[in-house]
């Protein structure tokens, strides 16, 4: 296995442009960073291969698609054993309402980001899914009143 090539300023520029414009044509990307299309394609392929680029996706509008209610949930497990963690993580993976799940340090075990149509739909989800997840002892729910900033863009320097 070869060592990853360190990122240079051109790689960082490629990542920056792709982060802002994921659908940009290779020729336009090459123009934006001042390289040939062949050189840029090779660099992008290397960045993908070395997992600097994890994938490409469209950002969808949850309000237009029936998922306008965002709720963050603190989850405290009844036991913190590898088996309980594994069961919880596996159960979370298959629930489309759970957008993100993060194990955290502090007063609870996991922080979930969920989306549903409205409070009634969230209440149904909480009762039939969330509180039934393996190992869940306690949850705290934070309904989002206003989304002030939502970005997946990384600061690249």
Residue 73, classed as helix, strand or coil, is: strand
DSSP symbols for 137-148: EEEEEEE-S---
Q: How far apart are the C-alpha atoms of 129 and 137, rounded to whole Å?
A: 13
Rounded to two decimals, the pTM is: 0.88
Domain ranges of the chain: 9-49, 69-143
The angle subtended at Cα 60 by Cα 152 and Cα 46, nearest 5°, is 50
Cα 123 from chain centroid? 24
Whether 9-49 shares its CATH topology with 69-143 is answered no
Contact between 111 and 102 (Cβ < 8 Å): yes
Which H/E stretch holds residue 50? Answer: none
Q: How far apart are the C-alpha atoms of 22 and 128, rounded to whole Å?
A: 37
- What is the per-residue pLDDT for 157? 77
Q: How far apart are the C-alpha atoms of 71 and 115, rounded to whole Å?
A: 6
- What is the per-residue pLDDT for 1? 59
- What is the per-residue pLDDT for 12? 97
Comparing C-alpha atoms, which of 78, 63, 81, 53 is closest to residue 117? 63
**Assigned CATH for 9-49:** 1.10.10.10
Classify domain 69-143 at the CATH topology level: Alpha-Beta Plaits (3.30.70)
| Strand order across the beta sheet in which 98-103 lies | 98-103, 110-116, 69-77, 136-143
The angle subtended at Cα 128 by Cα 122 and Cα 133, nearest 5°, is 105
Strand partners, 138: 76
Question: Per-residue confidence of the chain (157 residues) as pLDDT tens digits?
Answer: 567 778 999 999 999 999 999 999 999 999 999 999 999 999 999 999 999 999 999 999 999 999 999 999 999 999 999 999 999 999 999 999 999 999 999 999 999 999 999 999 999 999 999 999 999 999 999 999 999 999 999 999 7
């Amino acid at each position: 296995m070869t060592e990853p090539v360190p990122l240079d300023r051109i790689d960082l520029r490629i990542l920056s442009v792709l982060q802002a414009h994921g659908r940009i044509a290779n020729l336009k990307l090459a123009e934006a960073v001042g390289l040939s299309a062949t050189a840029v394609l090779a660099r992008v392929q290397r960045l993908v291969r070395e997992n600097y680029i994890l994938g490409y996706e469209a950002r969808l509008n949850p309000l237009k698609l029936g998922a306008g209610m965002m709720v963050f949930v603190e989850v405290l497990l009844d036991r913190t054993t590898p088996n309980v963690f594994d069961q919880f993580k596996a159960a979370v993976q298959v629930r489309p309402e759970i957008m993100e799940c993060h194990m955290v340090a502090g007063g609870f075990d996991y922080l979930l980001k969920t989306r549903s149509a409205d409070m009634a739909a969230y209440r149904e989800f909480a009762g039939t899914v969330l509180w039934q997840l393996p190992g869940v002892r306690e949850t705290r729910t934070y309904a989002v009143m206003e989304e002030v900033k939502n970005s997946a863009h990384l600061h690249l320097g």
